[in-house]
């Protein structure tokens, strides 16, 4: 059979990245708690090396081999995992990550630290780099053979279901026989009465005595495939060997026993996952979106049916509806990932950053199992990194400052994710010095964002830090202080339909609270009617809806309308005019329609619509895939009756409203304007030219339209 | 969909500019190409059938704000949101009431799906490529850039339209983007 091995490369590289992440988190745990699951750390390195060797990534295999050797010595107690060892190992992870990335992109790895790290690690092994390099990467040759005869006793107690997974003890014994002389007692005491025997279960256990020249590792290797399915204890016995007794002492009791916590973790991670291409899942999600829509259509038809006559049909439809809903939830859940994936990169970052800044930080994460849509997790990682980095740099004080403020030397940063309503909340909490309200206010006044006499709430003041270029840091460090971070953070979170708020107590600390929707594919919206069109306004942005009275509307000199709501004047945007909706029903008279007050990017505006149709969850469809981006519209959705409704993009609408002035001035003649514009467009088409409507300038002071140098493209 | 399967051979969708030189050079060839013909203001038009995805009846479309007038709006086509182009408006022809005959021809162009409203669909015809005549030059009075050629069909004449060229002026896609996509396809 001819197998194209390259098709597995991608899988290997993806797996290698995961193993690397395990390796990193394991090492960090070892550093902080002083004890670690060395077996799993070692196994991660071993897997990377093995895979790399198999698939011909020699550079990765060769380098990882040294890492593995160091870890092996550490596991076997020959090498103490001191800080410098861990630091070098962490550096080596960066090297391997770069090697993997290079292999993924098919380029040459660009690392200058590789040789450094390689030599440093080799030094721990007490060998020079050259020696290791020349050594065969297959550890079978020079590690297995020694002249010493050692004796081991092995207790091998398979779990009942071991044979059901395709493992066979006979094969293990055969493998042992190749290197050891072997005597074995079989314990049959666990075999139940005949009528209780499950023919698929294995009731036997063995005690094996081995005499061998091979190392303990070889014996362990024989059991490697069943280590999770059996209790295995390998112990060296009676040092009648020709070798030094110390050696045996050193090797003592390093057992392959399936550690209880290790086993649970492994079962959780290995049996529970399959790897699926993302586009397959996306395909399913699209399909289920169709199904939900079709189902809604069927339900709509059902209303016209006589309930008595077609009771069975109606029952079936109701059942189908509930199955469809379950199916939808199930498929949406496929895309969900624990937020752990975003959290996992932080311990390392916190460690490096805090070392650089000479701060002591205890980094804690909670709620890593909280699940979020994959795309949300990918996009939230960067903002989170920024916030955590800010907390380290600006939030947490130096150990001296903390001690003099009567706090413990070590600062704490807590990353906490949890569900609240239909949202996921992520708190980034530090116990540092808190935000400096006065200097933020001073800076804001300096930048002309507010005036001195403005009466601002704490929250309003804190929110200034989300403005572009806003930094109160006295010095720009390479960690932060350039003031470009927070506005990006706020923008990214907005882009995910999320929001961020700040709570801060001087001297006690600061909490950033991010609220995110569970998924990007569905949005909670308010369906509104304008003329014969339905528009969806994202519920997240809606503050309230009111029926405005005529005397609450003021018109400014530019004919821009304002609405007064509880003492606040908000610009009023008539959707009918902004979107030039045809066939209005006449519901637009003020006093009859509804003003929906929305907030977006700290701007509040009132959107005037004919009526509210009700809240509903809508599946977002792209308008760009077949058309193009439309200003003021973020996407489309398909309603229960099969019609398309547009979803409003509020930042875009706000921008439209800010430009609205000139559209409003020609309001009375708006029909004429549109006709005129269409005429221009038609004419320009006949001339085989292309005019972008948005580039047409409408003269606000006259009823005539000039188009001042329209942007004309000749094809 | 079934229409697509009827087409036995896939020929390169010739760019209109090559069309007349093609004709001269390969005068002996009698290759034919299949076209879907449709009526528009009493005239017979044709488009390359390989571009056609399906034909469906007209149903009310959702208006797109501030779109050119010839974009009637968007329709739900089995879950994807498809813009609908009114060809009469695009060609500045007088408007007519939509009837039961009014159909939307859904075409696939440059990775996009777009619907075109026409008066009615007529037939699928095989037209010999080498009998294509270039459109006469009307000067600047009439835009003939998207006319691929004229082809005699019995006593009748079919005006063959290049869909890509027609969309270029439609503000649907940025022009250079479309050209690049067309170039990629070719």
Cβ–Cβ gap A644/B142 under 8 Å? no
Interface test with B, best of A576, A584, A628, A693 (most B CBs within 10 A): A628
For residue B82, give the nearest of A626, A632, A643 by CB distance: A626
Rounded Cα distance between B39 and B47, Å, is: 11
Q: Which of B16, B57, B62 to mutate to test the interface with A (most CBs of A within 10 A)?
A: B62
Q: Report the distance separating Cα A615 and Cα A538, nearest Å.
A: 10
* CA dist., res. A492 & res. A486, Å (int): 10
The verdict on whether A394 is a catalytic residue reads no
Residue with tokens 């003592």: A252
Per the CB < 8 A criterion, the answer to whether B124 and B38 are in contact is: no
Which residues partner with B93 through β-bridges? Answer: none
Residues with Cβ within 8 Å of residue B93, at least 6 apart in sequence: B40, B41
Distance from the B120 Cα atom to the nearest Cα atom in chain A, whole angstroms: 23
Q: Give the residue on A whose Cα is nearest the Cα of B110.
A: A626
* Catalytic-role residue among A24, A68, A227, A660: A68
Residue A146 pLDDT: 44
Q: Please judge whether A579 and B81 are an interchain contact, meaning their C-beta atoms are less than 8 angstroms apart.
A: no
**Residue B64 Cα, gap to closest chain A Cα (Å):** 8
Asked if the C-beta of A685 comes within 8 angstroms of chain B's C-beta atoms, the answer is yes
Q: What's the rounded Cα separation, in Å, for the pair B43 and A202? A: 83
Taking the C-alpha atoms of residue A317 and residue A301, their distance in angstroms, rounded to an integer, is: 11
Whether residue B175 and residue A643 make contact (CB cut-off 8 A), yes or no, is no
Of A580, A713, A715, the CB nearest to B65: A580
Let me know: does A711 contact A692? Beta carbons within 8 Å: yes
CB contact under 8 A, A627 and B74: yes
For A444, residues 6+ apart whose C-beta sits below 8 A from its C-beta are A450, A461, A464, A467, A470
Q: Searching chain B, which residue's CA lies closest to the CA of residue A290? A: B79
Are B80 and A625 an interchain contact pair (Cβ–Cβ within 8 Å)? yes
Give the residue from A420, A363, A389, A359 showing the smallest Cα distance to A482. Answer: A389
Strand order in the sheet with B120-128: B120-128, B32-40, B43-48, B156-161, B147-153
E strands in A190-331: 205-212, 230-237
pLDDT of residue B16: 43
Which pLDDT value is given to residue B118?
92
Is A636 within 8 Å of B74 when comparing Cβ atoms? yes
Tokens of A696: 């047409």
Q: Can you tell me the distance from the alpha carbon of B168 to that of A508, in angstroms, rounded to the nearest whole number?
A: 61
The strand pairing partners of A363, in sequence order, are A413
C-beta atoms of B62 and A643 within 8 A? yes
* pLDDT digits 0-9 by tens, B19-52: 444 444 444 456 888 999 999 888 899 999 999 9
Phi/psi for A189 (5° steps) reads -65, -20
Whether B63 sits inside 8 A of A692 (CB atoms) is no
DSSP assignment of A318-346 = HHHHHHHHHHHHHHHHHHEEETHHHHTTH
Residues in chain B within 8 Å Cβ distance of A625: 80-81, 112
Which residues does residue A534 pair with via DSSP β-bridges, in sequence order? Answer: A529
Q: How far, rounded to the nearest angstrom, does the alpha carbon of residue A509 sit from its chain's CA centroid?
A: 26
A390 assigned to active site = yes
> For residue A306, what pLDDT is reported?
79
Partners of A345 in the β-ladder: none
Contact check, Cβ <8 Å, B62/A633: no
Q: For position A583, what pLDDT does the model report?
A: 59
Cα dihedral: A434, A437, A440, A446 (round 10): -160
> CB under 8 Å to B136, separation ≥6 — which residues?
B144
Radius of gyration, CA atoms only, chain A: 34
| pLDDT tier, B116 (very low <50, low <70, confident <90, very high otherwise) | very high
CA distance A544 to A546: 7
- Please tell me the distance in Å from B143's CA to the nearest CA on chain A: 6
Could you tell me which of A609, A590, A606 has the C-alpha nearest to residue A598? Answer: A606
Instruction: Check if the beta carbon of residue A262 is closer than 8 Å to that of residue A39.
Output: yes
Distances (CA, A) of A163 to A156, A185, A198, A199, A259: 14, 19, 12, 10, 21
Integer Cα distance of A565 and A561 in angstroms: 13
Which residue among A390, A463, A492, A497 is the active-site one?
Answer: A390
Instruction: Give the DSSP letter of residue B53.
Output: E
Show contacts of A138-146: CB within 8 Å, 24+ apart.
A139/A65, A143/A215, A143/A217, A144/A179, A144/A214, A144/A215, A144/A217, A144/A218, A145/A213, A145/A214, A146/A213, A146/A214, A146/A215, A146/A243
Q: Which of A578, A581, A623 sits opposite B63 (nearest CB)?
A: A581
Q: Identify which of A286, A632, A715 has the shortest CB distance to residue B169.
A: A715
Q: Which pLDDT band holds residue B84 (cuts at 50, 70, 90)?
A: very high
Please report residues of B whose CB lies closer than 8 A to that of A643.
60, 62, 76
pLDDT of residue A703: 35
Across the interface, whether the CB atoms of A579 and B62 are under 8 A apart is answered no
Task: Give the residue-averaged pLDDT of B134-161.
Answer: 76
Where is B18: in which H helix or E strand? helix B16-25
Cα–Cα distance measured from residue B125 to residue A324, given in angstroms and rounded to the nearest whole number: 44
* Nearest alpha-carbon partner for A621 in B104, B76, B115: B76
Q: How far is A325 from chain B (nearest CA, A)?
A: 17
The minimal CB distance from B65 to the residues A621, A632, A715 is found for A632
Chain A residue numbers with beta carbons less than 8 Å from the beta carbon of B142 are 686
- Bridge-based pairing of strands A644-648 and A533-538 is parallel
> Which residues of chain A have a CB within 8 Å of the CB of B168?
690, 715
B184 Rama sector, left if φ>0, alpha if ψ -120 to 50, beta otherwise:
alpha
Tell me the average confidence (pLDDT) per consecutive run of 10 residues in chain A, 715 residues long.
Answer: 64 80 81 74 82 79 83 78 80 84 76 77 64 43 49 79 75 75 78 79 80 74 75 67 40 37 40 74 81 79 80 88 85 82 85 85 87 83 86 85 86 88 83 83 80 76 77 52 67 81 86 81 83 87 84 73 83 82 56 82 82 82 80 84 86 74 41 50 46 39 36 40
Please enumerate residues of B whose Cβ is less than 8 A from a Cβ of A.
60-69, 73-76, 78-83, 90, 92, 112-114, 140, 142-143, 145, 168-169, 171-175
Question: Which residue from B78, B168, B172 is facing A627, i.e. has the nearest CB?
Answer: B172
Q: Closest residue of B to A283, CA-based?
A: B79
Choose, out of B16, B73, B81, B146, the residue to mutate when testing the contact with A (most A CBs < 10 Å). Answer: B81
DSSP string, A67-98: HHHHHHHHHTTSS---HHHHHHHHHHHHHHHH
pLDDT value of position B180: 57
**Nearest residue of B to residue A535, measured between CA atoms:** B62
Which residue, A205, A527, A514, is CA-closest to A380?
A514
The residue count for chain B = 186
The confidence score (pLDDT) of residue A500 equals: 86
Residue A520: DSSP 8-state: S
Cα A406 from Cα A435, distance rounded (Å)? 18
* Residue A27 burial by Cβ neighbours in a 10 Å radius (0-12, 13-18, 19+): buried
> What dihedral do alpha carbons A633, A638, A641, A643 form, nearest 10°?
50
| A-to-B residue pairs, Cβ atoms closer than 8 angstroms | 107
- Do residues A433 and A397 make contact, with C-beta atoms less than 8 angstroms apart? yes
Report how far residue B34's alpha carbon sits from residue B163's, in angstroms, rounded to the nearest whole number.
15
Query: Hey, is A521 helix, strand or coil?
Result: coil
**CB-based contact A713:A684 (threshold 8 Å):** no
- Cα-based distances in Å from A565 to A123, A486, A503, B158: 74, 31, 28, 63
Q: Do A688 and B68 touch (CB under 8 A)?
A: no
Please judge whether A685 and B74 are an interchain contact, meaning their C-beta atoms are less than 8 angstroms apart. Answer: no
**How far away is chain B from the Cα of A506, in angstroms, using its nearest Cα?**
49
| Look-up of token digits 């098919």 | A106
Test B169 with A690 for CB contact under 8 angstroms: yes
- In chain A, which residues have their Cβ closer than 8 Å to the Cβ of B61? 644
- Give the three-state DSSP class for B169: coil
Contact A127, A143 (CB under 8 A): no
- A187 flagged as catalytic: no
Q: Which of B67, B51, B4 is nearest to B165 (CA)?
A: B51
Residue A303 gets the label, from left (phi > 0), alpha (psi -120 to 50) or beta, of alpha
CB within 8 Å: B92 and A686:
yes
- Give, in order, the Cα–Cα distances in Å from A685 to each of A551, A643, A689, B17, B159: 45, 30, 5, 20, 19
CB A607 within 8 A of CB A502: no
> What pLDDT does A601 receive?
65
């Amino acid at each position: 059979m001819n197998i194209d091995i390259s098709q597995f490369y991608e899988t290997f590289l993806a797996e290698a990245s995961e193993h690397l992440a395990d390796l990193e988190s394991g090492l960090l745990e070892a550093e902080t708690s002083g004890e670690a699951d060395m077996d799993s750390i070692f196994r991660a390195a071993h897997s990377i090396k093995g895979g790399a060797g198999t698939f011909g990534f020699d550079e990765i295999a060769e380098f990882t081999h040294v890492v593995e050797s160091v870890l092996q010595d550490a596991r076997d107690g020959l090498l103490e995992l001191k800080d410098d060892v861990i630091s070098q190992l962490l550096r080596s992870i960066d090297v391997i990550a770069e090697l993997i990335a290079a292999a993924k992109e098919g380029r040459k790895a660009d690392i200058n630290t590789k040789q450094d790290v390689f030599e440093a690690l080799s030094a721990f092994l007490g060998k020079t780099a050259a020696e290791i390099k020349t050594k065969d990467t297959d550890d079978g040759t020079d590690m297995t053979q020694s002249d010493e005869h050692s004796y081991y006793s092995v207790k091998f107690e398979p779990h009942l279901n071991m044979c059901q997974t395709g493992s066979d003890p006979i094969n293990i014994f055969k493998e042992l026989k190749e290197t050891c002389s072997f005597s074995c007692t079989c314990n049959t005491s666990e075999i139940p009465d005949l009528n209780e025997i499950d023919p698929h279960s294995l009731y036997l256990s063995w005690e094996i005595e081995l005499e061998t020249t091979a190392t303990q590792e070889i014996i362990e290797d024989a059991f490697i495939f069943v280590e999770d399915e059996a209790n295995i204890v390998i112990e060296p016995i009676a040092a009648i060997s020709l070798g030094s007794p110390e050696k045996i002492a050193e090797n003592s009791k390093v057992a392959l026993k399936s550690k209880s916590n290790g086993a649970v973790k492994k079962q959780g991670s290995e049996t529970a996952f399959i790897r699926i291409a993302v586009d397959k899942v996306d395909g399913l999600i699209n399909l289920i979106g169709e199904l939900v829509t079709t189902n809604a259509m069927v339900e709509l038809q059902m209303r016209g049916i006589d309930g008595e006559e077609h009771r069975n049909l109606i029952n079936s439809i109701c059942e189908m509806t509930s199955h469809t809903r379950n199916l939808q939830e199930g498929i949406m859940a496929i895309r969900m990932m624990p937020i752990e994936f975003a959290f996992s990169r932080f311990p390392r970052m916190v460690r490096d950053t805090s070392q650089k800044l000479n701060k002591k930080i205890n980094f804690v994460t909670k709620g890593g199992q909280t699940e979020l849509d994959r795309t949300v997790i990918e996009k939230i990682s960067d903002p989170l990194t920024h916030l955590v980095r800010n907390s380290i740099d600006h939030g947490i004080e130096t150990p001296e400052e903390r001690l003099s403020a009567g706090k413990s030397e070590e600062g704490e940063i807590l990353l906490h994710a949890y569900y609240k309503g239909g949202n996921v909340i992520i708190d980034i909490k530090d116990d540092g010095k808190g935000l400096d309200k006065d200097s933020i206010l001073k800076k804001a006044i300096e930048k002309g964002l507010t005036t001195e006499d403005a009466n601002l709430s704490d929250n309003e003041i804190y929110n200034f830090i989300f403005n572009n270029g806003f930094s109160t840091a006295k010095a720009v460090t390479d960690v932060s202080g350039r003031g470009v971070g927070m506005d990006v953070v706020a923008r990214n979170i907005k882009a995910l339909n999320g929001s961020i708020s700040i709570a801060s107590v001087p001297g006690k600390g600061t909490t950033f609270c991010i609220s995110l929707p569970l998924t990007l594919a569905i949005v909670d919206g308010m369906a509104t009617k304008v003329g014969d069109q339905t528009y969806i306004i994202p519920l997240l942005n809606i503050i309230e809806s009111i029926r405005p009275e005529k005397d609450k509307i003021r018109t400014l000199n530019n004919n821009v309308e304002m609405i007064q709501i509880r003492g606040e004047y908000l610009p009023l945007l008539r959707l009918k005019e902004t979107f030039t909706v045809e066939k209005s029903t006449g519901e637009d008279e003020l006093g009859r329609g509804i003003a929906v007050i929305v907030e977006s990017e700290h701007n509040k505006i009132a959107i005037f619509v004919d009526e509210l149709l009700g809240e509903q969850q809508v599946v977002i469809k792209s308008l760009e895939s077949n058309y193009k981006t439309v200003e003021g519209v973020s996407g489309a959705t398909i309603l229960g009756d099969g019609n398309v409704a547009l979803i409003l993009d509020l930042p875009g609408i706000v921008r439209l409203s800010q430009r609205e002035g000139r559209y409003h001035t020609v309001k009375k003649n708006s029909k004429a304007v549109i006709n005129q514009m269409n005429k221009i467009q038609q004419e320009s088409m006949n001339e085989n030219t292309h005019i972008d409507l948005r580039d047409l300038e409408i003269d606000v002071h006259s009823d005539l339209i000039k188009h001042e140098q329209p942007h004309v493209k000749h094809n | 969909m079934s229409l697509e399967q009827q087409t036995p051979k896939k020929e390169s969708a010739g760019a209109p500019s090559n069309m007349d030189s093609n004709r001269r050079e390969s005068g002996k060839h009698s290759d034919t190409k299949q076209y879907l013909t449709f009526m528009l203001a009493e005239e017979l038009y044709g488009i390359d059938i390989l571009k056609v995805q399906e034909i469906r009846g007209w149903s009310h479309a959702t208006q797109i704000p501030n779109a050119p007038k010839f974009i009637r709006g968007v329709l739900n086509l089995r879950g994807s949101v498809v813009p609908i182009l009114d060809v009469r408006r695009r060609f500045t022809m007088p408007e007519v009431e939509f009837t039961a005959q009014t159909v939307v021809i859904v075409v696939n162009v440059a990775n996009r799906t777009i619907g075109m409203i026409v008066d009615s669909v007529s037939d699928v015809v095989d037209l010999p490529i080498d009998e294509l005549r270039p459109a006469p030059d009307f000067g600047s009075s009439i835009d003939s850039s998207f006319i691929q050629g004229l082809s005699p069909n019995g006593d009748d004449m079919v005006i063959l339209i290049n869909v890509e060229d027609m969309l270029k002026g439609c503000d649907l896609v940025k022009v250079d983007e479309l050209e690049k996509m067309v170039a990629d396809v070719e």
